[in-house]
Amino acid sequence: MSLRNHQSLRANMTGYAFISPFIVGFLAFTLIPMFISLYLSFTSYNLFTPPKWIGLGNFEKMFTSDPKYWNSIRVTFTYVLVGVPLRLIFALFVAMILNTKSRMVGTYRTMYYLPSIIGGSVAVSIMWRNIFSNDGIVNSLLSALGATPVKWFGDPNASLTMLITLSVWQFGSSMLIFLAGLKNISVEMYEASSVDGASPVRKFFSITLPLLSPIILFNLIMQTISAFMTFVPAYVISKGEGGPMDGTMLHSLYLFRQAFMFSNMGYAAAMAWVMLIMIAILTAILFLTSKYWVFYETEKGR
Amino acid sequence: MAWKTFKWPIYHILVAALALLMLYPVFWMLFSSFKESRTIFVTASSLFPTEWIWQNYVTGWKGTSGYNFGTYILNSLTIVVIATIGAVISSSLIAFGFARLKFKGRNIWFALMMMTLMLPGDVVLVPQYIIFTKLGWVNTILPLVVPSFFGMPFFIFLMVQFIRTIPAELDEAATIDGCGKFRLYFRIILPLLKSSLATAAIFSFYWKWEDLLGPVLYLNSPEKYTVSIALKMFLDSESASNWGGMFAMSILSLVPVIAVFFAFQKQIVQGMSTSGLKG
């Protein structure tokens, strides 16, 4: 063996030594579990008796004879398709009003980000449940304004609305990423367009949005994936039941119930795979269409 | 011009008002924790309690399943500390490998790592549960801490990004001086990586402290419960309607989270702005 080969072998071994924890973890906690999950999705398995191969049985049941599954898909898509855009619009709005040189901006940023930092906790879900309870503050406010109080836990649409408001309230991390992006847009751009007599609205649509589009894409993808996986608020707010009338039965919660309350491990695995495929398709669509709406400075600038 | 004079005061009033509106629910919970249980909803629209009831913190502390919150806090802390140490050490080693070492297949492994970053957790939820059950790890903290020792993709990505900003000349100089790769990692890169390590530790703290699904799946005897499960149990035993106690403990569970936030604001905001992958 030549000296050179020997050296590169050594370099490779050192490299693999450093990343070996990742490789082991990836195999043990991701890749092998994914294969197990794929196998289980074609079986009926309750954890106690060996898995029984049923072919496409789970998928057939899912698509033809489980209205609760379809409901969970509908609820989840509503949650994602309404919640994520609202959250991002709000995040961008706040980022824009905070993109000034005022000395108070640091304090404001902290105040607006705080809900997101505590957002994942059980405490906040409990709080949200109580704010929207029949005699909670939201209803007191509604009656004070002369509107009829809403039975947030009696109407499936109302309870989904409540979940969506909770997700919008936690807009902070997207806001910070937008803020970082806004700071990168050079002031000269805006000044030049002012000289040309552009209105603020015009500036927003022809400078801010295009230059921010890579960050919008990033936020959109990450937020969409995490929204599809939302579990804790639905679990806590509905006390694990997904009620009323399955109005808060998000996909993750339904999967959790199928797997761990009814011991339908095979069915839950099949659900997870269908969801993975749906998310992958959605992400692919976002990526593929992005070339029509995402603007990269380096491509056009020179 | 009149508008110029009024612009900033109006700006500050509007922005501060919106911020307070955002934080109102938190304040409401805080003050409700001092209200008498029966009056929390009757007086839902008024923020401040008429009478300050500190007793809620005493009754809440007792918990609902025979163990008090001291136990739950200790359990949560144990998990958080072990998992965080594991995540920070392993992720920094892996990140050094990806960012500084050349080896065959590096790009493929890095791409795989970025893919796991985007992989929805539900796909591995069931098989992981089965694996941990077969290993006999249920009702121990092992399923909640062991995976952290194999690197967290989010932290690895964060650290790789950071290490790439460290000039390569440092490595070369150290190598010429006869420094091996591990010494290079340990002596040169790791000390420079401090801020990234801190960011990772803070996020790890948040995720583990707030985690509910993991403890719900893997812990089933009350003496092992974490703060998250204990709070959830309060809600389940609503018949007792110890609202005051539940709010008091909810507030208590947020104290460490908020304290860490204020202590490391800058770090957190920077970590978020430069990578920002948290929900």
Q: Where are the domains of chain A?
A: 3-44, 60-291
Type of residue found at B130: I
Taking CB atoms and an 8 Å limit, are B279 and A140 in contact across chains? no
Q: What residue spans of A27-56 are helical by DSSP H? A: 32-40
Per residue in A283-302, pLDDT (tens digit) is 999 999 988 888 876 554 43
Q: Specify whether the CB–CB gap between A93 and A80 falls below 8 A.
A: no
Tell me how far apart the terminal alpha carbons of chain B are, to the nearest angstrom.
Answer: 44
CA distance A122 to chain B (A): 6
Tell me which of A1-5, A56-60, A164-168, B25-29 is least confident.
A1-5
ipTM of the complex: 0.88
What tokens were used for A162?
A: 């409540």
pLDDT at B24 over 80: yes
Q: How far apart are CA A67 and CA B12, in angstroms?
A: 51
Amino acid B240: pLDDT: 57
* Phi and psi at residue A53, to the nearest 5°: -65, 125
CB-based contact A127 B250, cutoff 8 Å:
yes
CB-based contact A295:A217 (threshold 8 Å) = no
pLDDT band for position A2 (50/70/90)?
low
Percent of chain B with pLDDT over 90: 49
Give SS3 for A52. Answer: strand
- Mean pLDDT estimate for chain B: 87
- Distance (Å) from the C-alpha of residue B71 to the closest C-alpha of chain A? 18
HEC string of chain B equals: CHHHHHHHHHHHHHHHHHHHHHHHHHHHHHHHCCCCHHHCCCCCCCCCCCCCCCHHHHHHHCCCCCCCHHHHHHHHHHHHHHHHHHHHHHHHHHHHHHHHCCCCCHHHHHHHHHHHHHCCCHHHHHHHHHHHHHCCCCCCCHHHHHHHHHCCHHHHHHHHHHHCCCCCHHHHHHHHCCCCHHHHHHHHHHHHCHHHHHHHHHHHHHHHHHCCHHHHHHCCCHHHCCHHHHHHHHHHCHHHCCHHHHHHHHHHHHHHHHHHHHHCHHHHHHHHHHCCCCC
Average pLDDT over residues B155-164: 90
Report which listed range, A39-48, A183-192, A290-299, is most confident.
Answer: A39-48
Choose among B8, B94, B257: nearest Cβ to A18: B94
Q: What is the mean pLDDT of residues B88-95?
A: 96
Distance separating alpha carbons of residues B140 and A63, to the nearest angstrom: 37
What are the residues whose beta carbons fall under 8 Å from the beta carbon of A108, sequence distance 6 or more? Answer: A98, B15, B16, B19
Assigned token pair, B127: 């098989």
Q: Of A100, A113, A127, which to mutate for an interface test with B (greatest number of B Cβ within 10 Å)?
A: A127
Cα-Cα end-to-end distance for chain A: 49
Q: Dig out the tokens for A283 from the structure.
A: 């992400």
Mutate to test the interface with A, among B98, B123, B225, B236 (most CBs of A within 10 A): B123
Residues from chain A contacting residue B44 (CB–CB below 8 Å): 135-137, 140
- What is the SS3 assignment for A108-162? HHHHHHHHHHHCCCHHHHHHHHHHCCCCCHHHHHHHHCCCCCCCCCCCHHHHHHH
Q: What's the rounded Cα separation, in Å, for the pair B74 and B72?
A: 5
Per-residue exposure over A166-191, b if at least 16 CB sit within 10 Å of its own CB, e if not = bbbbbbbbbbbbbbbbbeeeeeeeee
B127 upstream amide cis, omega within 30 of 0: no
Confidence bin at A186 (pLDDT 50/70/90):
confident
What number is the average pLDDT over the span A253-259?
96
Asked if B130 lies within 8 A of A128 by C-beta distance, the reply is no
Asked whether the beta carbons of residue B113 and residue A118 sit closer than 8 angstroms, the reply is: no
Q: What is the pLDDT of residue B88?
A: 96
Residue of B nearest to A177 (CA): B273
Q: What was the pLDDT predicted at B235?
A: 83
- Closest Cα to residue A67, out of A57, A75, A79? A75
Residue A132: alpha-carbon gap to chain centroid: 23
Beta-carbon separation of B156 and A22 below 8 A: yes
**A35 alpha-carbon distance from chain centroid:** 25
- pLDDT on residue A140: 83
Domains of chain B: 1-89+121-151+190-276 (1.10.3720.10)
Which residues of chain B neighbour A152 with C-beta distances below 8 Å?
none
Average pLDDT estimate for A95-121: 88
Highest mean pLDDT among A136-140, A234-238, A270-274, B101-105: A270-274
pLDDT tens digits for range B97-108: 999 998 999 999
Report the percent of chain A where pLDDT is more than 70: 97
Scanning A104-163 for CB atoms below 8 A from B yields 104, 108-115, 117-124, 126-131, 133, 135-137, 140-141, 144
Residues pairing with A44 in the sheet: A52
Query: What is the band of B277 on the pLDDT scale with cuts at 50, 70, 90?
Result: very low
The C-alpha R_g of chain B, in whole angstroms, comes to: 24
Q: What percent of chain A has pLDDT over 90?
A: 55
CATH number of A60-291: 1.10.3720.10
Task: Write down the mean pLDDT value for chain A.
Answer: 89
Which of the listed ranges A176-190, A194-208, B171-185, B195-209 does the model predict with the highest average pLDDT? Answer: B195-209
| CA distance to partner chain B, nearest, from residue A36 (Å) | 6
Query: Which residues lie closer than 8 Å to A287 by C-beta, 6 or more apart?
Result: A217, A221
Q: Are B189 and B163 spatial neighbours (Cβ–Cβ below 8 Å)?
A: yes
Task: Retrieve residue B46's tokens.
Answer: 């008024």
What pLDDT is stored for residue A302 in this prediction? 36
- How far is Cα B75 from Cα B139, in angstroms, rounded to an integer? 12
Comparing A120-124, A182-186, B149-153, the range with the smallest average pLDDT is A182-186
Average pLDDT over residues A80-88: 96
Query: What pLDDT is recorded for position B2?
Result: 61
Which among B23, B131, B272 has CB closest to A173? B272
Going by C-alpha positions, the residue among A77, A167, A176, A79 that lies closest to residue A124 is A167
- For residue A162, is pLDDT > 60? yes
Confidence at residue B274, expressed as pLDDT on a 0 to 100 scale: 66
Stretch A52-71: mean pLDDT, rounded?
93
CA distance A195 to A82: 38
Of B28, B127, B250, the CB nearest to A40: B127
How do A52-53 and A43-44 pair as beta strands? antiparallel
Please report, to the nearest 10 degrees, the dihedral formed by the alpha carbons of residues B58, B60, B61, B66 taken in order: 120
Contact B127 A36 (CB under 8 A): yes
What would the mean pLDDT of A164-173 be, rounded to a whole number?
A: 93
More confident residue, B44 or B82: B82
Task: Label residue B278 by pLDDT band (50, 70, 90).
Answer: very low
Does A169 reach chain B within 8 Å, measured CB to CB? yes
pLDDT tens for each residue of A202-233: 888 888 898 899 899 989 998 999 999 999 99
**What pLDDT does residue B118 have?**
86
Instruction: Inform me whether the pLDDT recorded for B161 exceeds 60.
Output: yes
Q: What is the pLDDT of residue B135?
A: 94
